[in-house]
């Protein structure tokens, strides 16, 4: 399949053998906008408008997968202007809900500065884009620190749980048997509701700074820097800053949700793959799997990720299981209660940002629990089947496929909130950035020391110079 300009490329092959086409930048950016705005309404809880927005975002993701669309190497002017306007529009609601004082004002001011900064660079097409992206990321790091200072004890069980886990690890206790309470009615108390990797990754930040949220902020910054490095000499480099300028990103940080850890590790794994650092890719993906239960939804796609390879996917999964087993054996009942039964048997909530809650709000009764679970499983398996059938098996296909699966899962799930949707939006950004960088090829050979990184995007040597005159014309987007 050949084409001209930025409207087609034989960039990748799906199961059916047909090539992908460029043109995904606007639908994917639209999905990021719709999901971000939907999740920001009501701080990630249910409303009719919010459900419409996240549903539109999901439909756009499915559309890109079904049509085999891939982002162009450079955004067209319409997409660039849209991106600038969207970031600029996020200035008005910049920080969390529990903060107060001067630190909160500083956090909001810094977020506004970063948003205007990135918007101006996008709209005006200014040079030094990489410097602008890194500058915005640095400013948002300051905004995150100020937000944490402004909200030292957020009224949410996740913060109390992670803080208690940090103290438990410092004293050699099992995080699944630590007793704690947030003092907040009807919220989780005692034990640990995530997989053990999440507690271990933020533990050093608890030891050094007294608050696990600095670890989550660091994960957000790592994701932003990785995305900026992938496309360092392109206008797309500014999308790296979007990770920290996601609508109400500082609210998510304030709440201590660990989904930024999952996103950071997925992006590090993808970056390691395109750089040929497969060992680090395996380690990063294994760590991703030991952070949160829903990260395992990406594992089936990883087995078909040709740039990564099914053997490495199996090795990462095996390492994750081996890492988790000692925690299970140390306190099987406590692990099951915290990491399995608590999440599996949570009662349905009317404020979940999903179609499930939409049905409940219109008088539907879920009836038998197995029927509800079967609906969720079938919807998720259907999304997996679609992306495995239609998308290329490269890094872009893995990232976009993961976004589609997560989005469909969130829509059908009984408890989907801001953090689950922010992970989906982050995967969309990653697909936007990695798409052109991995078009038409698998992972490169292992990079040598001092080799030019992929993000330099040096002008390639023409096929004619290497192989002689071509027999057919090949036009690259």
Question: What pLDDT, in 10s, does the model give residues 301-337?
Answer: 999 999 999 999 999 999 999 999 999 999 999 999 9
Q: Is residue 10 part of a domain?
A: no
Does residue 464 sit within a domain? no
Q: Which residues pair with 425 in a beta bridge?
A: none
Crossing angle between the packed helical segments 48-66 and 369-390, to the nearest 10 degrees: 40
- Tokens standing for 211? 């608050």
Map tokens 């803080």 to a residue: 163
In a domain, 311, yes or no: yes
The Cα 272–Cα 277 span in angstroms is 5
What tens digit of pLDDT does each residue of 136-178 get?
999 999 999 999 999 999 989 899 999 999 999 999 999 999 9
Q: How big is the chain by its Cα radius of gyration, in Å?
A: 22
Q: Rounded to an integer, what distance in angstroms lies between the CA atom of residue 143 and that of residue 107?
A: 4
**Residue 466 falls within a domain, yes or no?**
no
Write down the pLDDT at residue 86: 67
Q: What local confidence, expressed as pLDDT, does residue 94 receive?
A: 59
pLDDT score of 277: 96
Q: What is the pLDDT of the chain when averaged over all its residues? A: 84
Mark out the alpha helices in 210-309 (DSSP H runs): 213-230, 239-242, 249-254, 259-274, 278-289, 299-303
Residues 307 and 152: beta-carbon distance below 8 Å: no
Enclosing domain of residue 156: 21-443
Mean pLDDT (10-residue bins), the chain, 477 residues: 34 44 88 90 89 96 95 74 67 71 92 87 86 94 96 92 96 93 72 95 98 98 95 80 90 95 98 96 98 97 95 98 97 94 81 86 66 85 96 95 98 92 96 78 40 39 40 34
pLDDT at 356: 85
Q: Is the residue at 435 inside a domain?
A: yes
DSSP 347: P
Do residues 43 and 248 make contact, with C-beta atoms less than 8 angstroms apart? yes
Q: Assess if residue 465 is contained within a domain.
A: no
Contact 254, 147 (CB under 8 A): yes
Query: What is the dihedral sign for C-alpha 361, 364, 369, 372?
Result: negative
C-alpha 439/C-alpha 391 separation (Å) is: 12
CB 367 within 8 A of CB 221: no
CB 350 within 8 A of CB 342: no
Instruction: Read off the DSSP letter of residue 472.
Output: S
What confidence score (pLDDT) does residue 457 get? 41
398, 363 Cβ separation under 8 angstroms: no
Check residue 12 and give its pLDDT.
38
How far apart are alpha carbons 140 and 133 in whole angstroms? Answer: 11
- pLDDT at position 117 is 87
What is the structure's pLDDT at 102?
Answer: 94
Nearest to 313 by CA among 326, 296, 325, 294: 296
Report the half-sphere exposure of 446 (CA within 13 A, side-chain side). Answer: 6
pTM of the complete model? 0.87
Q: Would 69 be classed as within a structural domain?
A: yes
Number of compact structural domains in the chain: 1
Asked if the structure places residue 188 within a domain, the reply is: yes
Distance CA 277, CA 445 (A): 9
- Is there a contact between 14 and 68 (Cβ–Cβ < 8 Å)? yes
3-state helix, strand, coil in the chain (%, to 5): 65, 0, 35
| CA dihedral for 435, 441, 446, 451, sign (positive or negative) | negative
Q: Which uninterrupted H or E stretch holds 70?
A: strand 69-70
């Amino acid at each position: 399949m050949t084409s001209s300009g930025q409207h087609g490329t034989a960039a990748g092959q799906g199961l059916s053998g047909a090539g992908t086409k460029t043109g995904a930048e606007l639908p994917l950016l639209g999905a990021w906008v719709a999901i971000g705005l939907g999740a920001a309404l009501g701080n990630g809880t249910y409303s009719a408008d919010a459900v419409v927005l996240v549903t539109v975002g999901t439909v756009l993701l499915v559309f890109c997968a079904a049509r085999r669309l891939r982002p162009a190497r450079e955004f067209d002017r319409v997409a660039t202007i849209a991106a600038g306007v969207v970031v600029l529009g996020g200035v008005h609601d910049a920080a969390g809900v529990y903060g107060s004082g001067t630190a909160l004002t500083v956090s909001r001011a810094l977020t506004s500065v970063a948003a205007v900064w990135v918007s101006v660079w996008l709209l005006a097409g200014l040079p030094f884009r990489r410097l602008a992206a890194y500058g915005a990321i640095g400013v948002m790091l300051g905004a995150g620190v100020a937000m944490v200072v402004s909200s030292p004890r957020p009224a949410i069980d996740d913060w109390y749980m992670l803080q208690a886990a940090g103290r438990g690890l410092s004293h050699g206790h099992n995080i699944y048997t630590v007793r704690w309470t947030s003092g907040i009615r009807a919220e989780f108390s005692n034990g640990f509701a995530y997989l053990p990797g999440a507690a271990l990754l933020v533990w050093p930040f608890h030891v050094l700074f007294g608050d696990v949220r600095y670890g989550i902020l660091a994960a957000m910054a790592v994701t932003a820097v990785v995305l900026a490095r992938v496309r360092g000499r392109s206008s797309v480099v500014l999308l790296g800053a979007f990770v920290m300028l996601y609508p109400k990103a500082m609210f998510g940080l304030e709440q201590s949700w660990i989904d930024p850890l999952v996103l950071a590790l997925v992006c590090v794994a993808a970056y390691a793959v395109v750089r040929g650092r497969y060992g680090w890719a395996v380690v990063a993906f294994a760590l991703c799997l030991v952070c949160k239960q829903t990260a395992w939804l990406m594992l089936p796609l990883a087995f078909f990720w040709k740039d990564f390879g099914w053997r490495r996917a199996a090795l990462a999964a095996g390492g994750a299981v081996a890492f988790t087993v000692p925690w299970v054996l140390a306190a099987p009942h406590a692990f099951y209660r915290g990491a399995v039964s608590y999440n599996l048997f949570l009662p349905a909530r009317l404020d979940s940002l999903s179609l499930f809650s939409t049905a409940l709000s219109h008088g539907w009764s879920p009836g038998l629990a197995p029927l509800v679970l079967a609906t969720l499983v079938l919807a998720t398996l259907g999304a997996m089947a679609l992306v495995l059938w239609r998308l290329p098996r490269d890094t872009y296909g893995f990232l976009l496929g993961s976004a589609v699966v997560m989005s469909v899962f969130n829509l059908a799930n009984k408890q989907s909130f801001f953090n689950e949707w922010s992970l989906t939006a982050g995967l969309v950004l990653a697909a936007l950035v990695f798409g052109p960088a991995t078009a038409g090829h698998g992972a490169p050979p292992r990079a040598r020391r001092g080799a030019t990184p992929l993000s330099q995007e040096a002008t390639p040597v023409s096929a004619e110079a290497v192989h002689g005159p071509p027999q057919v014309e090949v036009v690259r987007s």
